[in-house]
Amino acid sequence: MTGANSGIGRVTARTLALQGYRVFLACRSEARTRPVLEEIQSLSDGTAQAEFLLLDLGDLGSVRRCADAFLKRGLHLHLLICNAGLAGQRGMTTSGFELAFGTCHVGHFLLVELLKERLVESAPARIVMLSSKAHRHAQGIDFDRVRQPTRSRTALQEYAVAKLANLLHAKELARRLEGTGVTTYAVHPGVVATDVWRALPSMLAWVIKLFMRSEEDGAATTLYCATDPRVTGQTGRYYADSREEQPSPVACDPALAAELWRRSEGWISRG
């Protein structure tokens, strides 16, 4: 899973490892991931299987190296959790995309494509995509702007577009993987007090944190979609508070989902 060294990802990785899953924590920093690995080993008396994989979602070369490192192990892949994200940070990724969009969507799109065949071979398998109710603030995707630096002061407009892209990606994946035994789930974890908000202006961050839930509460819906047998036959749907919800109308637009897929394929072929 991506983004597993803090926040929701840390709780999710720890829970899965303690439940007996072999977990790979795909993160940018081994030093920041090591405490999570040590925590998992401590809680399991050294019996849990958890490993670090180097991954920078903003660098498509790094995404390819990460996928290759996993595939070379020759293991089955029954669960892929695309958890990593950021909000309130401005700029561009190494690979030339608006920072939130490139990290949250483009990097994950490539990772899924590189691991998709292994997921199908390992079926039944699940892909859980961390979206957000913030997707409701996006009226669509400006495909020119996502190739430019962040424009808004808070970067929350761009975050909303990135989370819309995550949801559209999960829906289009479900359509393309129908009948393979691989199912997809888009998740709103709630507004959670994690590092994802670390770059927001201090006053805005303080106001948002008044309404935040704990990391454990935030991980609950991810874990529900990742492991609960009640959602086994469901795919391409959106969940919050461990139940299905209806996303925004634009998130249900098949033409937009298809266009996002077409452009994403072009981006990763050149990146």
pLDDT tens readout for residues 245-260:
999 999 999 999 999 9
Nearest to 132 by CA among 190, 172, 198: 190
Determine whether 159 is an active site residue. Answer: yes
pLDDT tens readout for residues 28-81:
999 999 999 999 999 999 999 999 999 999 999 999 999 999 999 999 999 999
Beta bridge partners of 82: 129
pLDDT tens readout for residues 109-121:
999 999 999 999 9
Give the pTM.
0.92
CA distance 25 to 33: 8
Catalytic residue among 159, 224, 238, 239: 159
Nearest to 85 by CA among 76, 93, 77: 93
- With tokens 């959602």, the residue in question is 231
Give the pLDDT mean for 3-18: 95
